[in-house]
Amino acid sequence: MTRHRCVVSRRRFLQAAGGTAACLMLFPLSESVLAAGPISITPIFPKSKARVTLVFSHMPPGTPTWPTKDYDYAGRAKELTARLEAACPGIAFTVKTAHDADEAQAILKESGDVDGYLVYALGLHTGVPAHMIGSGKPVVLVDDLFGGTHEVLQATGIARRENLRVVTVCSSDFQDVVSAARLFEVIRAMKESTILDVTDRDVANAAERIKALLGANVARIGSEELASYYSKADEREAEKWADFWISQAKKVVEPTRAEIVKSAGMYLALSRAAADKHADAVTVDCLGMSYSGRMSAYPCLSHFQMNNDGGAGVCEGDLNSTCAQLMMRYLTGRPGFVSDPVIDTSKSEIVYAHCVSTNRVFGPKGKANPYIIRSHAEDNKGASIQSLLPVDKIVTTLQMNAKSRRMVIHTGKTTRNLDEPKACRTKLAARTDAERILSNWDSHVAAWHRVTIYGDWRKQALNLARLLGIEAFEEDKAG
C-alpha cells in the first residue's frame, strides 16, 4: 500500500461499479448504511427491466365456457395488467391476447429476445397454455380461478412430465402471482451480472457453463494484477476502514491493528478491481493464493464489508457458491453465508462454519448483529470475522452446480452460535432433519460448501430453479 491517494474512493467506486455493493432494482439502497463510517455510500443505479410478454388467453366474448358466456375479458385483462405493472416496477410488460394456438404461435414468433412469458388463463378451450409452455423460455402460468383452470392444470401436467421451464400459480392471493412474476427480475439481473474471480487458475470452462446457464459473465484477474491493485491502495483510507471495523466490533482477539489495516488495503484493492471489471460479485482463491504467498492479506474483511453493503463477497474462488449467493441476493435483498456444514445427528443440527460472514443478515438496512475480529482459523494468520448471528430464525440453505445444472436445498431454524476453537471462526447451528440430509448428501451437486440466507425462501428458490432449467432436490426430504 502507498501513502498517495488511490484513484478510487468508496463513492466513486460505487458509481463506477456494475453493482458490487448493489441490491439492484429489487431492493435499491436509498441511503448510506455506513453513515457513521469513514466513507459514505451512494445509491446504485438499477439494471435494466426484465422483458416479459404478458399473454391473456380466453375465447372470444359470447362463447359459452368458463368463466361465463358474457364475461368481460378485456376489463379483467386491463385490471390485472395495471396491478402487475404497479407491483412489478422492475418488469417491462408487453401485453398480448391469444384466443387459440395459432395466435399463441404468432406471439412467440414476434416476441423476440424476451426473458419469459407470463400466461394468464382467463378462460377455457383456447389451447394457448399448452402451446406457450413449449416456448423454450421461462413461463409463469397463472390460473384466473374459475376461468382457465382446466387448461392450466392440463398444461402443468405436461410441463412436469417433460421437465419444462414452467411455474404454475393457482391462488386467490394476488401476491403469489407477483412473487412468481418477480422471478423474471432475478433472471434478468443474472444475465446482466459480472462475477470477478481472483485466481491464477484457468476458469474458462466454468465461465462458459455459467454463461450458458445464467447468462452471467466471469471476469478473471490473477495474483500479479491483484498485487498491483493492492500496492496502489491508499494507506490512510485503509486506516480509516480498519479503525471503523475495530470500533464496531465487540472485541478484537488475535489480529493487530496493522494486520487489520492490511485487510482494509485488500478491501480497497478488490473494490477497485471490481469497479474496473464492472463486477457485481467478487470471489477470491484466498486459500491457494495465501498459503503460497501470492496474496498479501486475507480478503475476509473485504468480503464482510461487501456483503454488508449489498454486494457479494465469496470465499475460495467458488464460482458455484458465488452464483448461488448472487442469485439469492437478487431474490431476497439479503446476503448469503457461505459455509462448510458440519452435521451433528445427535442434536439434529447442522453447524454452518466459515471465517467470512456478514453481520447484516437481513440486508444492508437491516439490524446488525455483534461480531468479533479474529485471525483466519486454519493458520491463525491475518484477520477474519466471527459473526454472532441471530438465533431462533428460519434459514434457507442451498447450493447449485452450473456443470450438472442441479441444486440442493434445505431449511432449518437457527439455535446457537458455537464458540469452538476447532475449525472456522463463525459457527451457526440450525435445527433441521440432519439424518435425512446426511442420507441424501450428494457431492456431485456440491462437494461441501452451502449458502445460507435468513428467511424461508424454499418455494421461491425452487420456482426460480425451475424457470432456469435447474433440477432441484430438497435434501431434507425423502429421497
Q: What DSSP letter does each residue of 140-205 carry, written as one string?
A: EEEE-TTTSHHHHHHHHHHHHHHT-SEEEE--S-HHHHHHHHTHHHHHHHHHT-EEEEE-SS--HH
The C-alpha atoms of residue 287 and residue 298 are separated, in whole angstroms, by 8
Roughly how many angstroms between the first and final C-alpha of the chain, as a whole number? 53
Quick one: pLDDT band at residue 46, thresholds 50, 70, 90? low
* 22 neighbors 309 (Cβ within 8 angstroms): no
Q: Above pLDDT 90, what percent of the chain? A: 87
The C-alpha atoms of residue 358 and residue 312 are separated, in whole angstroms, by 10
Of 179, 190, 160, residue with least CA distance to 456: 179
Contacts of 160 (CB under 8 A, 6+ apart): none
* 438 neighbors 479 (Cβ within 8 angstroms): no
Task: Cis check for the bond before 370: say yes or no (omega within 30 of 0).
Answer: no
**pLDDT at 12 (0 to 100):** 38
* 358 neighbors 387 (Cβ within 8 angstroms): yes
* 175 neighbors 153 (Cβ within 8 angstroms): no
Q: Is the pLDDT of residue 81 over 60?
A: yes
Q: Above pLDDT 70, what percent of the chain? A: 90
The H or E element that residue 343 is part of is strand 337-344
The pTM (predicted TM-score) of the whole model is 0.92
What the chain holds in terms of domains, given with CATH numbers, is: 50-186 (3.40.50.2300), 192-474 (3.20.14)
* 334 neighbors 225 (Cβ within 8 angstroms): no
**pLDDT at 479 (0 to 100):** 64
Mean pLDDT, range 83-112, rounded to an integer: 97
Q: What is the largest CA-CA distance in the chain?
A: 80
In this predicted model, what pLDDT tens digit does every residue of 103-162 receive, in sequence order?
Answer: 999 999 999 999 999 999 999 999 999 999 999 999 999 999 999 999 999 999 999 999
Judge residue 418's burial from the number of C-beta atoms within 10 Å of its C-beta, 0-12 exposed, 13-18 middle, 19 or more buried.
Answer: middle
> Average pLDDT of the chain?
91
Mean pLDDT, range 422-447, rounded to an integer: 90
